[in-house]
C-alpha cells in the first residue's frame, strides 16, 4: 500500500499548476518500471538469466530509440 501512495502522489504532482513537472514523464516511468519489474519477476531463475539480459537490453534499446524521435511540444 505504501508504494501505491507514492505512485499516486507522483502522478498527482504532475497535474498541480506551477510545479512544471511533466505528467507524461511520470506515466512513462511508471510504464517502463512496471515492464522491467515484470521482466525480473518472470525471469527469476538462474536458468533464465540470458532471457532476462536480452529482454532488459531490448527495453534499454527501445528507450534509446525514443531519444531519436523529435520532441513533442504540445501533447
Give the mean pLDDT of 8-33: 82
The percent of residues in the chain predicted with pLDDT above 70, rounded, is: 96
pLDDT, position 64 = 95
DSSP string, 39-69: HHHHT-SGGGHHHHHHHHHHHHHHHHHHTTS
Tens of pLDDT along 39-56? Answer: 999 999 999 999 999 999
For residue 31, what is the DSSP state? Answer: H
Contact 56, 39 (CB under 8 A): yes
- Prediction pTM value: 0.74
Confidence grade of residue 19 (pLDDT, cut at 50, 70, 90): confident
Amino acid at each position: 500500500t505504501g508504494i501505491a501512495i507514492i505512485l499516486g502522489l507522483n502522478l498527482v504532482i504532475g497535474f498541480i499548476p506551477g510545479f512544471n513537472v511533466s505528467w507524461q514523464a511520470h506515466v512513462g516511468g511508471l510504464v517502463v518500471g512496471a515492464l522491467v519489474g515484470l521482466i525480473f519477476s518472470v525471469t527469476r531463475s538462474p536458468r533464465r538469466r540470458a532471457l532476462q539480459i536480452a529482454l532488459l537490453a531490448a527495453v534499454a534499446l527501445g528507450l534509446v530509440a525514443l531519444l531519436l524521435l523529435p520532441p513533442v511540444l504540445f501533447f
